[in-house]
Amino acid sequence: MKEFIKVCVIDVSDGNYDTNPREWTDEEFLNTAKADGRVYTLQYFEDAFNFAPHSAVSTEDNIIRFISHDAENSIQKEKQEGEEAEAK
């Protein structure tokens, strides 16, 4: 089983959450980060944090979580979700 790490970033500057994101499950955190388009590989996260203009990732406004995934199961799940979205 091959695993990889997703770096999920949640912007908390607007405070629009009913609960503290630090208390969320990994799945809740990942889904919110996906909806915001803020899920990175380790390499892209490093670039976004260190080199992106105006710092795409900030420690002042963001909560960051590293989530380990089974690569094969994750790819299958994302493919299935894409097919279901197309069917709608």
Q: Is 4 left (phi over 0), alpha (psi -120 to 50) or beta?
A: beta
Count of positions (residues) in the chain: 88
**What integer best gives the mean pLDDT of the chain?**
79
Degrees to nearest 5, angle at CA 6 with 37 and 56: 45
Rounded CA gap, 12 and 58, in Å?
11
Tokens 């900030």 -> residue: 58
Distances (CA, A) of 75 to 52, 57, 63, 71: 27, 25, 25, 6
Q: Which residues contact 5 (CB under 8 A, 6 or more apart)?
A: 41, 42, 66, 67, 68, 69
pLDDT tens-digit series, residues 14-56: 778 888 888 999 999 999 999 988 899 888 888 888 876 665 6
